[in-house]
Amino acid sequence: MNTVAVLGLGIMGGGMAANLLKAGFPLNVYNRTAAKTAPLAALGARVAPTPREAAQGASVIIAMVGDDAASQAVWLGEHGALGGASPGAVLVECSTLSLEWVQALAAHAAERGLAFLDAPVTGSKDAAAGGTLRLLVGGDAAALECARPALSVISQEIIHFGPNGAGATMKLINNLMGAVQTAALAEGLALAERAGLDMAQVAGLIRSGAPGSPIVQSKLGAMLSHSYADTNFALRWMHKDATYALRAADAHGVPMPTLAAARELYRMARNLGLDTADFAAVFEALRHHP
């Protein structure tokens, strides 16, 4: 099997890397916090001190980091993975990033004659650990076929949406809708709580009724118990994704007043110190409002 590199070993990247090792792929890994590499090293991964060294000799180079700044750090610069990528390697950016940076990164790759896929994922930490993510891919179809053996190990479905930028755009659409639905759930529960309704009855109706979308059902229990420590997706990242989605919408001239309001609610929750809590904690921004 060809060597794969994974850059970024957080909740998502760590699960992806572990599945690649289980499938028998030789694996190079890099993480800014070196301590997170230890479990994968114990499973046989080669730990590299820089993204550039992790990329050397890899046929597929996968990045999974938090935001544009982290993506720029792992790909560019003296120690960036672009400088270590071998001719013929496929670069796969699985992070949820702004459309403008994804397009810029695709151009950087093209300047070096390297294939690039934007392939952000849907699914949370359980899906990453179980290899059941969905990949939303933008880029050349031939590049996708080259990377497919490795990508199939980390996912249950790979959907090719079109050229570079298409996968990134679809992921922002997916997340903006999740952000809005979760914010609406928080508003509904806040009103029910203030009105003195039986919250068990409220929850039962929401679960069985038209508003009970999968994301609403998945966040309802955490909001009712006010328990957000089991983080599937951190609140700060949802605020970031809403920001990137608004920027993409602005570039395309699409008004998004509902998303803009929801993003403000996530900002209010961040001001309460809930950055690393699951994004269901957006509920607390309303509960603590006088």
- Regarding the domain with residue range 4-162, which homologous superfamily does it belong to in the CATH classification? NAD(P)-binding Rossmann-like Domain (3.40.50.720)
Residue 171 designated active-site: yes
CATH topology of domain 169-287: N-(1-d-carboxylethyl)-l-norvaline Dehydrogenase; domain 2 (1.10.1040)
CA geometry: angle 4, 134, 266, nearest 5 deg = 110
Q: For residue 104, what pLDDT is reported? A: 98
Query: Catalytic pick from 22, 171, 219, 240?
Result: 171
**Secondary structure string (H, E, C) spanning the chain:** CCCEEEECCCHHHHHHHHHHHHCCCCEEEECCCHHHHHHHHHCCCEECCCHHHHHCCCCEEEECCCCHHHHHHHHCCCCCHHHHCCCCCEEEECCCCCHHHHHHHHHHHHHCCCEEEECCEECCHHHHHHCCEEEEEECCHHHHHHHHHHHHHHEEEEEEEECCCHHHHHHHHHHHHHHHHHHHHHHHHHHHHHCCCCHHHHHHHHHHCCCCCHHHHHHHHHHHHCCCCCCCCEHHHHHHHHHHHHHHHHHCCCCCHHHHHHHHHHHHHHHCCCCCCEHHHHHHHHHCCC
Q: For residue 125, what pLDDT is reported? A: 84
Q: For residue 103, what pLDDT is reported? A: 97
Q: For residue 124, what pLDDT is reported? A: 85
Q: For residue 175, what pLDDT is reported? A: 98
Smallest CA-to-CA distance from 65 within 14, 2, 107, 100 is with: 14
261-272 b/e (C-beta count within 10 Å ≥ 16 → b): ebbebbebbbee
Smallest CA-to-CA distance from 264 within 276, 255, 256, 252 is with: 256
Asked if residue 22 lies in contact with residue 14, where contact means CB atoms within 8 angstroms, the answer is no
Q: For residue 26, what pLDDT is reported? A: 97
How far, CA to CA in Å, does 45 sit from each of 25, 28, 71, 267? 9, 6, 22, 38
Per-residue pLDDT of the chain (290 residues; tens, 9 = 90+): 799 999 999 999 999 999 999 999 999 999 999 889 999 999 999 999 999 999 999 999 999 999 999 999 999 988 999 999 999 999 999 999 999 999 999 999 999 999 999 999 999 889 999 999 999 999 999 999 999 999 999 999 999 999 999 999 999 999 999 999 999 999 999 999 999 999 999 999 999 999 999 999 999 999 999 999 999 899 999 999 999 999 999 999 999 999 999 999 999 999 999 999 999 999 999 997 76
Strands 60-63 and 4-7: parallel
Compute the distance between CA of residue 135 and CA of residue 147 in angstroms, rounded to an integer.
12
The structural domains of the chain, with segments of one domain joined by +, span: 4-162, 169-287
Q: For residue 44, what pLDDT is reported? A: 95
